[in-house]
Amino acid sequence: MAALITATATLRTSHRVATYQTLIGLLAVTGMRVGEAIALDRDDFDVDHGVLTVRHGKFGKSRELPLHPSAVTAVDQYLHRNDRPRPAARTSALLVSTAGTRLLVCNVQYTFRTVVRRAGLKPHSAACRPRLHDVRHRFAVCTFLDAYRQGQDPDARLSLLSTYLGHVDPKNTYWYLSAAPELLQLAGDRLQRHLGGAS
């Protein structure tokens, strides 16, 4: 993730750099869908309580996402940058383009591919290329890895994670976690300890 954030510095204009650093950072620390992030309005960010309200989630569901204080500071600083385009005052969007309008998914995807290339990230295969949605998967996997490493109950964490991601059914969250070798190893180790303790 650090390589992606660093590579955004190669984009034109300081405002564009700040916008993509903020976008990628928010995706990394919240697990939001890309469409949810670019649909955020300034009023969806509560700096006093450190919460983002996702109003345009999948299936029309809304949810509140508490933010780490460092993320609150980053978003607040982004909103108060001197280089924020003047036309941005006419839009309610939190994240704005250099034209001062809400970001478009097609432009975000294109810019992300540029940043990935400049970061030197390579696809695993022609069918497995880095995508913005992978940031969401990474958030889910890292959250579960933390639960295992801290000795917490993964099942309890799954329920919270599913709600945080805006999944209607926890089985959708399981799908995010099923192809992570690190998680499979930790789950296997936990099972082995359990079986060993039961014998």
Q: Which of 17, 1, 2, 5 is nearest to 97 (CA)?
A: 17
Q: What is the pLDDT of residue 58?
A: 75
Please give the chain's pLDDT, 199 residues, in tens.
788 889 999 999 999 999 999 999 999 999 899 999 999 999 999 999 999 999 877 777 889 999 999 999 999 999 999 999 988 888 999 999 999 999 999 999 999 999 999 998 887 766 667 788 888 888 888 887 787 778 777 777 777 778 778 777 777 776 666 666 676 676 667 667 767 765 4
For the annotated catalytic residues, the residue numbers are 33, 58, 133, 136, 167, 176
Q: What is residue 85's DSSP assignment?
A: -
**How far is residue 62's CA from residue 37's CA, in Å, rounded to a whole number?**
13
Contact by Cβ (8 Å): 136, 32: yes
Contacts of 35 (CB under 8 A, 6+ apart): 56, 105
- Return the structure tokens found at 2: 């650090």
Domains of the chain: 2-119 (1.10.443.10), 133-198 (no CATH)
- pTM equals 0.80
